[in-house]
Amino acid sequence: MTAKKVAVLKGGGSLERTVSLRSGARAQAALHRLGHEVIPIDVGPELLAQLHETRPDAAFVAMHGRDGEDGTVQGLLETIGVPYTGSGPAACMRCTDKALAKYLMCEAGIPTPDFTSFKETAVKELGVAAALGDIEHLLGFPMVVKPASQGSALGVKFARSSEELPGAIVGALSYDRKVVIERYVPGRDLAVSVLDSIDESPPAPSAVALPVVEAIPREEDFYNYESRYEIGMTTFVCPAELPEETTARAQQLALEVYRLLGCHGVARVDLMLDERSDELFVLETNVVPGLTETSLLPLAADAAGIDFDELIERILASAFTR
């Protein structure tokens, strides 16, 4: 690729701001090494003015969570005509809303844990409390209660009994107006990153699934925000030690989900492998996967023989293949 002027969008006001700053810093360093001109932007009220002023050839979106991952920034970049890395606004919205993504996966026959989902208005105005018994009957305990649109396990809680359920719902609703309540899948925590191939022209570059990563928590009872980013609290194994057919199935599912949700450039699909039945279930898709030293996408790329700089170059290329 010829040298480009690239604005790296990082930080912003989301709860994952610190992680995003780290992802952005690493992307910047790689873009420098690759010979591109880098304009670092810690996203704030000046974002649009800065983009107008600097007129970059592309924006490299390294923002996780709100705004950078939910389609807001992507929509604005479309409006001002700046090409950008990764998925477009609609795919971002489909992925960020875990409830929407799960309903779409159900319609498409892609396995995802049984669930229900509602907005806080159901609690405040529709008397959803009267349906908690039905939810228990449908999903059983423990249940996983999560805000529909956070990342990094923020606000994810296990409810082990009827007593714990209302509190977990209220807790999730403090992060987002919508909650997802899911059947608990006992088993292994897997992630499959998908990357578009670099050398194909628009409109449809083909996507490849990278080797499967397994996240093995060391102390916490599940893979949470702390353990994900504090080096040493989670062990990552890549390629995950799995039977060949399980690996192939996980990669196949990730590619199906990537296409179903309309992702572009790169994404990471999180799955659970049920230890009792060996079935795979898709939990969610991240459209701006982390790029930190401990993140899963760089690890998976490395296992596929794609070093960090090449990974960044391929993500950058996605800005020009839409």
Ligand X SMILES: Nc1ncnc2c1ncn2[C@@H]1O[C@H](COP(=O)(O)OP(=O)(O)O)[C@@H](O)[C@H]1O
The site for Mg ion, by CB under 5 A, has a size of: 1
Q: Any catalytic annotation for residue 161?
A: no
Question: In whole angstroms, how large is the CA radius of gyration of the chain?
Answer: 19
Which partner, Mg ion, ligand X, none, binds residue 313 by CB below 5 to 8 Å per kind?
Answer: none
**Smallest distance, ligand X to C-beta of residue 222, A:** 4
**Distance between CA 293 and CA 315 in Å, rounded?**
17
Of 60, 85, 63, give the one whose Cα is nearest residue 19. Answer: 63
Residue 181 is a binding residue for ligand X (CB under 6 A) = no
As beta bridge partners, residue 213 has 191
> Which is closer to Mg ion, CB of 214 or CB of 313?
214
134-153: contacts with ligand X (CB under 6 A): 144, 146, 150-153
Is-contact 146 157, C-beta < 8 A?
yes
243-302: contacts with ligand X (CB under 6 A): 270, 272, 283-284
Decide the pairing of beta strands 5-10 and 37-42.
Answer: parallel
Q: What are phi and psi of 174, to 5 degrees?
A: -80, -15
What is the CB-side half-sphere exposure of residue 46 using CA atoms within 13 A?
Answer: 7
Piece in contact with ligand X (CB under 6 A), picked from 3-11, 51-59, 180-188, 261-269? 180-188
- Of 151, 188, 290, 295, the active-site residue reads 290
Count other C-beta atoms under 10 Å from residue 114's C-beta. Answer: 16
**Smallest distance, ligand X to C-beta of residue 224, A:** 7
As annotated, the active-site residues are 16, 152, 229, 268, 270, 284, 286, 290
Residues that bind Mg ion (CB under 5 A): 270
Residues that bind ligand X (CB under 6 A): 113, 144, 146, 150-153, 156, 182-185, 189, 222-223, 270, 272, 283-284
